[in-house]
Structure 1
Amino acid sequence: MVDNKLINIKSLKSPKGVFLLGHLPQFNTYNKHQVLERWVEESGELFKIHFLGKEFIVSANPDFNNKMLRLRPDTFKRFSKIDEVLKEMGIDGVFNAEGSVWKRQRKPIAEALSVKNVKAFYPIILDKTKAILEKFKNYSEKETIVDVQKEFMAFTIDITTEIAFGYKLDTINNKSNSFQKHLEVIFPMINTRVTAPLPIWRYFKSKKDRILDDSLRSIEKVIYEFIDDAKKRIEKNPSLKTKPSNFLEALLVENEAVNFTNEEIYGNVFTMLLAGEDTTSNSLSWAVFYLAQYPEIVNKVREEANIVYKTEKVSSTYEHVELLKYAYAVAQETMRLKPTTPQLYLEPNEDVVINNVAIPKGTSIILQNKVAQTQEDHFSNANSFIPERWLDHGCPMHKNHSPNVMRAFGGGARYCPGMQLAKTEMIVLISALCKHFDFKLEVKPEDIREQFEFTMYPENLKVTFKSLKTTK
């Protein structure tokens, strides 16, 4: 793509497929993100695939991808099927909104998740971190083998639901709750429907579809009750306008200038649950996957924790978080090597040319982002877990360091507004875990499989925790 000759989609390479079905049989699997990675090796950074005749462009070129992301929301939008599926479920928030609707919603959502409000939410993060530390201490005493992905899911569910609207679940302590059970039904079904080649559920409802409908109705009823309660609280207690106690209250305060409908408020609260649960818990799981293999890195995180918040069990103030630079580096390096959203789906609102490639309006595009994050051109020793690369003057051998190719939180104007909250959760828990425990993998690293279900998580990650007797 160095000359000025216009490239047509039909001239792009394509990996080997199957007659009529195309590439669907290979792609319709638990590790579709790794299938895309193999196809990049086979066909290069830019190629085409098709599912039952439906054509897609796949790009692993970071420059190509960044240009598309920067052209959102005007020239490019999210893959329309995602919006269709979410709206069918009654979810119409900033995540799937486009155009003028997105522009109207973006600012109040960003303000509701601003650093100021994340600071206000910090006691919730602190409380849940202490709870999971206590649970892991009990696991340590009993030498229990821990399914960390499941435990971190409980951790982020408890944080997200309390921050979203002040609802205390306590799934960390295995207290079952119907709200949590409904969420566990809904999230996997979103992935199933978005990746389904045909919308069979619109014509025939399976048992899973009927269960999904029941769960959606139940969640909707509960959230609307929370919306009504929050409005009444703010009316009775005007001080909440300057210091909201949760995301819903903050959103209602910001809403005074925007005038959201109840349906839009509901959609954004649900989006908060959707975006705040899987990605953070899965990233934390992958962090422990690496920390368990590198005790010297655990020691460095521990040393930092002992310096920053000394004898405290957990970092007690938000101001400490900014000082936990090595814990932050561990989080960044984890998201580089194991991005929980390794691909994004877009389509253009109009005919457009990117890097001499002519892309017609409505073309489906898959942005494969992980490949660039693990290439030597962008990161020296690209496949090694080296948190130091994220520190100023961390290691002189890292001559290649291109953080701009990282897409853990999207890019352009539509980057994830919950980024600060997610990073805070990760930094605090990574630091606290390393301060209080040593970790040991109970399965071989090669036996831990990357599983993709809307986000990518480690399947079969089993870990034991050894409590440090010297910590308080």
Structure 2
Amino acid sequence: MTVRRRLLEELRKTVGPYGRRPHTTSLQPVVEDLVDPNIRQITDVKPYSEVPGPREFPLVGNAWRFLPFIGHFSIEQLDQVMWSLYRDYGKVVKVGGLVGHPDLVFVFDGNCIEQVFRREEVMPHRPSMPSLRYYKQYLRKDFFGNTAGVIGIHGKQWDEFRCQVQQVMLQSGAAKNYVGPLNQVADDFMSRMEILKDENQELPDNFLGEIYKWALESIGRVALDTRLGCLRNDISQDSETRRIIQSIHTFFVNVAEVELRVPFWRVWSTPTWKKYIGALDVFRELCMKYISEATDRMQREGQERTMEDRSLVEKIILKTKNPKIAAVLALDLLLVGVDTTSISVTSSLYQLAKNPEKQEALFQELKAVLPTPETPVEVKKLEKLPYLKACIKETLRMYPVIIGNGRSLQSDAVVGGYHIPKGVHVIFPHLVVSNIEENFPQPNRFIPERWIKSDGCPAHKIHPFVSLPFGYGRRTCLGRRFAEAELQILLAKIFRKYKVEYHYEDFKYKICPTYIPENPLKFRLINRQ
């Protein structure tokens, strides 16, 4: 097929479902502007070589920019790198010549992001974690086999696995059955917060580690119907719970080094690679103990429990008749659900502490729905907390836990008026896109009201593709509904009971590879009357 014909095919894909025209801007010519319906000639499509971006040097391309000492692209400051690319080159930027990696095309425009998502294949490829895929499909293939899960996996294996679990995970009421158990976990964490406060009513510097324990306990309760004991006061340094948390932390600390720098691990086992693999092995072995206990308990109890009372592992086993699928799903949920949910809680606490008038508005909503701080958070009560949900949305807009995702193109495409060839990784830098003035007026201000609908419409019309903290399409986060329930329940309890203050330096964030604050979390908690 000629280049001209391939481009015509890709242009047809840019039209939305049932022929709907995509949003248009001066950056993105619509299909009618590109293809004359009479003569079918392509106009205004620029070649890939014209995509602006930092200059590539012979042999080393742009890889040198990420090297220590001589480079100026720091992995830990990838957020600043993304901002500089946007300011220096515009809304479509190419970073090519990355040794061991495909070219990257950064897209800083909501219409173009929508364009790529609308045309994606049945089995979309996300440019994420080849190291994890290597771990699952080669190093530990004896364990995973053909059931490798959804994290770091693409193609037919990913599609078959997701099809077997998505009905349980993504149905509209999937998380409702777990609101009660999550409320109990949140109550235990609230009790622990009281113990952790010092004489100034402040939480300790390492409070993020405590939030990690809450997140792990919550996922364990939902996925395995098991209380892991993370919130006990007597957890020893060598306990299985602490080792699980430490393995997750080690994984995230080293994954940025493994994934974003020159992949020397493909040639020899570097010290970073050894830590990375060791953390995954420890995590898998410890978690499998609890997963096995959950499946054994299910077999003992037989059909005595209703479907609503069962854990996710049990539901998946009953649906698929395959315990391995349930085990791998639980591993994926535990691996990516602790760090991400914990940071979301942390950033929400910070934003509301720094904006007392917004916190007061939230408290008034909570007081109307929860008469006392001890009132259980139930499904019907969560439905009456729109301002709480808006606060979470606004936090994740300003500080998305994952600052960007993307797609690995499986065929040629036209993006932002440029021909982008197959194999290129198109990156959606959500942190930048969701903090651009044209997308969100006064983007540096915490304004939950922008998400509140008035007379059926939001106060400011928000493009649906400029804030996607949970992704989009077939690769949207499988655990989204459960993560949202965890966040809403815990934050409702905290802000119903306490006025939260923060009197130290403004938060600074780093890439690890999640977007994590570096500051001590010395929040001050004042009991509400």
* Residues 139, 146 of structure 1: 8 Å contact kept: yes
The corresponding residue for 2:429 is: 368
Secondary structure at the aligned position of 1:439 is classed as strand
Tell whether 2:184 aligns with 1:136. no
Secondary structure at the aligned position of 1:78 is classed as coil
Distance in 2 separating the partners of 1:95 and 1:44: 31
* Residues 126, 314 of structure 1: 8 Å contact kept: no
The corresponding residue for 1:33 is: 79
CA shift for structure 1 position 452: 0.8
Distance in 2 separating the partners of 1:196 and 1:245: 43
Secondary structure at the aligned position of 1:197 is classed as coil
Distance 1:52 1:215, change over 3 A: closer
The corresponding residue for 1:13 is: 52
1:100 to 141, 146, 156: 156
- Partner deviation per Cα, 1:348-388 (whole Å, 9 max, x = no partner): 12223334322222112222122221223222333211111
Tell whether 2:481 aligns with 1:420. yes
Distance in 2 separating the partners of 1:107 and 1:75: 11
The corresponding residue for 1:326 is: 387
The corresponding residue for 1:112 is: 168
Distance in 2 separating the partners of 1:35 and 1:96: 24
Secondary structure at the aligned position of 1:408 is classed as coil
- Partner deviation per Cα, 1:438-466 (whole Å, 9 max, x = no partner): 22223221xx2111112101110433323
Letter of the structure 2 residue corresponding to residue 186 of structure 1 = F
Letter of the structure 1 residue corresponding to residue 311 of structure 2 = N
Letter of the structure 2 residue corresponding to residue 146 of structure 1 = P
Within-5 A mapping of 1:201-280: 202-206=267-271, 208-236=272-300, 237-240=302-305, 242-256=307-321, 260=322, 262=324, 264-280=325-341
2:260 to 177, 185, 195: 195
Distance in 1 separating the partners of 2:162 and 2:467: 22
Distance in 1 separating the partners of 2:198 and 2:355: 23
Distance 1:294 1:241, change over 3 A: same
CA shift for structure 1 position 469: 5.3
CA shift for structure 1 position 209: 3.9
Secondary structure at the aligned position of 2:436 is classed as coil
CA shift for structure 1 position 212: 4.1
- Partner deviation per Cα, 1:322-351 (whole Å, 9 max, x = no partner): 111111111011011111111113211222
Distance 1:123 1:441, change over 3 A: same
Distance in 2 separating the partners of 1:387 and 1:269: 33
Distance 1:38 1:89, change over 3 A: farther
Distance in 2 separating the partners of 1:351 and 1:397: 36
Distance 1:379 1:100, change over 3 A: same
Secondary structure at the aligned position of 1:30 is classed as helix
In terms of fraction of residues, the more strand-rich structure is 1
- Partner deviation per Cα, 1:208-256 (whole Å, 9 max, x = no partner): 5444444433333344444444333333321446235322112212223
* Residues 160, 272 of structure 1: 8 Å contact kept: yes
- Partner deviation per Cα, 1:55-102 (whole Å, 9 max, x = no partner): 321111112112222333437411165353453564721233333333
Distance 1:354 1:75, change over 3 A: farther
Distance 1:81 1:288, change over 3 A: closer
* Residues 380, 398 of structure 1: 8 Å contact kept: no
The corresponding residue for 2:442 is: 381
For the aligned residue pairs, the C-alpha RMSD in angstroms reads 2.8
* Residues 46, 418 of structure 2: 8 Å contact kept: yes
Tell whether 2:133 aligns with 1:84. yes
Instruction: Pick 1 or 2: higher relative contact order, CA cutoff 8 A, min separation 6.
Output: 1
Distance 1:86 1:334, change over 3 A: farther
**Any gaps of 5 or more consecutive residues in structure 2?**
1-26, 35-43
Distance 1:384 1:152, change over 3 A: same
Secondary structure at the aligned position of 1:96 is classed as coil
Distance in 1 separating the partners of 2:155 and 2:112: 22
Distance 1:26 1:365, change over 3 A: farther
* Residues 6, 356 of structure 1: 8 Å contact kept: yes
Tell whether 2:360 aligns with 1:311. no
Identity over the aligned pairs, expressed in percent? 18
Distance 1:86 1:279, change over 3 A: farther
* Residues 388, 492 of structure 2: 8 Å contact kept: yes
Distance in 2 separating the partners of 1:211 and 1:204: 10
Secondary structure at the aligned position of 2:296 is classed as helix
The corresponding residue for 1:65 is: 113
Distance in 1 separating the partners of 2:279 and 2:457: 53
The corresponding residue for 1:146 is: 204
